[in-house]
Amino acid sequence: MSALLEVRDLRVAFPRGRSDEVFALRGVDLSLKRGERLGVVGESGAGKSMLAFAILDLIQSPGRIAGGSIRFDGQNLLAMSEREIRRVRGKRIAMIFQDPMATLNPVLTIGRQMAEALEAHGRISEREARRRSVEMLKAVQVPQAEARYDAYPHELSGGLRQRVVIAIALLAEPEIIIADEPTTALDVTIQAEIMALLLRLCREREVGLILITHDLAVVAEVTERLMIMYAGRCVEEGPTSEVIARPRHPYAAGLLASLPGHTEPGARLTQIPGSMPPLGALPEGCAFRPRCEHAYARCHLERPELEPDLPGRRVACYLPLGGRT
Amino acid sequence: MHIIAFLLRRSVQAALVMLVISIIGFSIQDNLGDPLRELVGQSVSEAERDQLREKLGLNDPFWVQYGRFLSNAIEGDLGTSYFFKRPALDVIFDKFPATFELVLVSALIIVVLSVPAGIYCAVHPGSFFSRVIMSGSIIGISVPVFLTAIFLIWIFAVELGVMPAYGRGEVVDLGWWDTGLLTVDGVLHIILPAISLASIMLPLFIRLIRAEMMEQLGQDYVRFARAKGLSEKRVRNHAFRNTLLPVVTVGGLQIGTLIAYTILTETVFQWPGMGFLFLEAVNRVDTPLIIAYIIVVGGIFVLVNTAVDLIYTMINPMVKLPGESA
């Protein structure tokens, strides 16, 4: 089965000074089958959110998409007019943002913000919009859905607001949801609830999910495939369970080793030495090279491309852990 | 219900504010010069003057005079103008329509121009046109109203001769109100004064709307609105609703300042309004009229601020009137 969403060599650039540019994404590939759930993991600044926004052409000026292609259901999103891509946004690919406090407009009612998501994609009566929205609020387990429809965002708790955001994302029955750290801003006790809800709804409705997070534990539970990003590129990709059980890229291994669950209780957590270089000052060759204990001459000279590795997996490293295949 | 409670509380506060204004207004009367000099000619003897002073109560102690003033004021009598020999309040209200129309047209110019200009500059921050507007607004803020007014008269009335230089033009008397907005001549006459009066606030509003709108456009809810597939017009509407909140607050306060600037504008254009009247009253040491003006303008300030607070609670769902449950 061919992929529903196919991103190739995507580049996003931001201007630096008058004539220079810094690349926040330096050629990212991504593919997602219908109903598939993909995790995108990496530390802050690796370009995860940038990838999410770029897919829907929502990079804010002065940033721009500087190259690559995004094919969705056979069409190139980057070649679309503003009008055409608006028909994809929300309707076919929806987004959930990180902070539910900031995602909802404080001066409009929940109902207005839900109804307009429906109105944007076809004529619909106010009653019908209300009926479908309330139904969706019930589906995301918002109590007193009828009353909440007329409430303002500040009258709801953070957890409830994120449920509303999920409801808005699901309203137009999209084929893919891109969730950018959907639980990061929430209380720990509510995080698991929201994640479980999102997973259940995606499964029931066969909606594909691109889950952007830095929480590997969540990724392991929710996603089927995993993509690890470093400095604006994908460094490793494969089935989630396999990547977690047997990481090939030293960076992926370092991320996993830094998780509390992977070490003996009481033992010190390991950490990756150094920090991610700023995007404007990446080293020659492999971007991870300064922090990698296995680096050798070739890593200084050439940038490793994302190449097929073990079956179903790809890695961008000359010396993958566990030896080359 | 809450609106009534709010208005009641506000009325009490307003009464207190007015009391303070009246004391301050009344206390300056001894420092304005001798009203008798203007009131009577030079040929009147000192004895007759003293007699008149006694008759007008000007020799009584301050608090006695103030008490007399206050008890009359409560009955709606703010004193009698020395010059017009009529109740000061009547004289002021005769001039009120002229000032009101001037402020109204100015406010209209400000709103109609600043909203689109501010939004345009926020949406296209780097464009040539935005830069022109932003540089122009600096000039607008820097040039004082009376200078703008004189420049406008010089260019449009003297050099080009297309606009009248002074006065209110042809006025239609509606019985309770005289308006210059119903005749072509009246409209022509109000254009230059209104532009001068607007010239200070307009750039301020453009900059305020632009700054606030730019901040709102960077917010997550704007991105989320785009991600829902809304048109750019709808998305801007989202941002503008939030831009309005601080603009209404600042704008309300600025309406008061606008009234203060009418004194300058009306004087330059010989506009027969309250501000021009006030300046004349100062020249004539027409103390009752001066005090009445101060109190009327103070009252307008209080009214406007109350209205702004009410409007604010209406457009901001996060603010409730005191006592209203969430």
User: Which of the four pLDDT bands, split at 50, 70 and 90, describes residue B189?
Assistant: confident
Query: How many angstroms away from the CA of A127 is the closest CA of chain B?
Result: 20
Distance in angstroms (rounded) separating the CA atoms of residues A220 and A209: 14
With respect to residue B119, please indicate whether it lies within any of the assigned structural domains: yes
Give pLDDT tens digits for B137-174. Answer: 888 888 888 888 888 889 888 888 788 878 887 777 77
> Do the chains contact at A105 and B220, CB–CB below 8 Å?
no
With respect to residue B70, please indicate whether it lies within any of the assigned structural domains: no
Distance in angstroms (rounded) separating the CA atoms of residues B20 and B8: 19
What tokens does B246 get?
């601080």
Contacts of A311 (CB under 8 A, 6+ apart): none
With respect to residue B4, please indicate whether it lies within any of the assigned structural domains: no
For B179, the domain range is 92-315
Residue A307 has pLDDT above 70, yes or no: yes
Contacts of B269 (CB under 8 A, 6+ apart): B149, B153, B165, B166, B167, B192, B193, B196
Question: Which of A103, A168, A184 has the highest number of chain B CBs within 10 A, making it the mutation to test binding with B?
Answer: A103
With respect to residue B242, please indicate whether it lies within any of the assigned structural domains: yes
Residue A243 and residue A297 in contact, taking contact as beta carbons nearer than 8 Å: no
Q: Which CATH number goes with the domain that contains B253?
A: 1.10.3720.10
Confidence at residue B117, expressed as pLDDT on a 0 to 100 scale: 93
> Do the chains contact at A108 and B241, CB–CB below 8 Å?
yes
Q: What is the mean pLDDT of chain B?
A: 84
Mean of pLDDT values over A20-37: 90
Alpha-helical regions (H) of A58-186 = 82-88, 100-103, 110-119, 126-139, 145-149, 158-171
Distance in angstroms (rounded) separating the CA atoms of residues A167 and A177: 11
Distance in angstroms (rounded) separating the CA atoms of residues B56 and B33: 15
List A71's β-bridge partners, or say none. A6, A76
Confidence at residue A325, expressed as pLDDT on a 0 to 100 scale: 61
What pTM, to 2 d.p., does this model score? Answer: 0.82
Concatenated DSSP letters of A29-89: EEEE-TT-EEEEE--TTSSHHHHHHHHTT-PPTT-EEEEEEEEETTEEGGGS-HHHHHHHB
> Do the chains contact at A60 and B223, CB–CB below 8 Å?
yes
Residue B81 has pLDDT above 90, yes or no: no
Lookup result for tokens 């500059």: B121
Query: How many angstroms away from the CA of A262 is the closest CA of chain B?
Result: 35
Mean of pLDDT values over B107-111: 92
- Give the chain A residue whose CA is nearest to the CA of B233: A120
Distance in angstroms (rounded) separating the CA atoms of residues A139 and B254: 49
With respect to residue B28, please indicate whether it lies within any of the assigned structural domains: no
Confidence at residue B32, expressed as pLDDT on a 0 to 100 scale: 67
Confidence at residue A261, expressed as pLDDT on a 0 to 100 scale: 67
With respect to residue B23, please indicate whether it lies within any of the assigned structural domains: no
Confidence at residue A319, expressed as pLDDT on a 0 to 100 scale: 86
Contacts of B321 (CB under 8 A, 6+ apart): B2, B3, B5, B6, B313
With respect to residue B154, please indicate whether it lies within any of the assigned structural domains: yes
Mean of pLDDT values over B305-320: 81
What 3-state DSSP class applies to A10?
A: strand
With respect to residue B299, please indicate whether it lies within any of the assigned structural domains: yes
User: Which of the four pLDDT bands, split at 50, 70 and 90, describes residue B38?
Assistant: low
Residue A55 and residue A178 in contact, taking contact as beta carbons nearer than 8 Å: yes
User: Which of the four pLDDT bands, split at 50, 70 and 90, describes residue B323?
Assistant: low
Concatenated DSSP letters of A223-249: -SEEEEEETTEEEEEEEHHHHHHS--S
Query: How many angstroms away from the CA of A102 is the closest CA of chain B?
Result: 6
Give pLDDT tens digits for A106-157. Answer: 999 999 999 999 998 888 899 999 999 999 999 999 999 999 999 999 999 8
Q: What is the mean pLDDT of chain A?
A: 89
Please tell me the total count of domains within chain B: 1
Distance in angstroms (rounded) separating the CA atoms of residues A124 and A118: 7
Residue B255 has pLDDT above 70, yes or no: yes
Residue A110 and residue A166 in contact, taking contact as beta carbons nearer than 8 Å: no
What tokens does B73 get?
């004021």
User: DSSP secondary-structure letter at A280?
Assistant: G
Confidence at residue B326, expressed as pLDDT on a 0 to 100 scale: 42
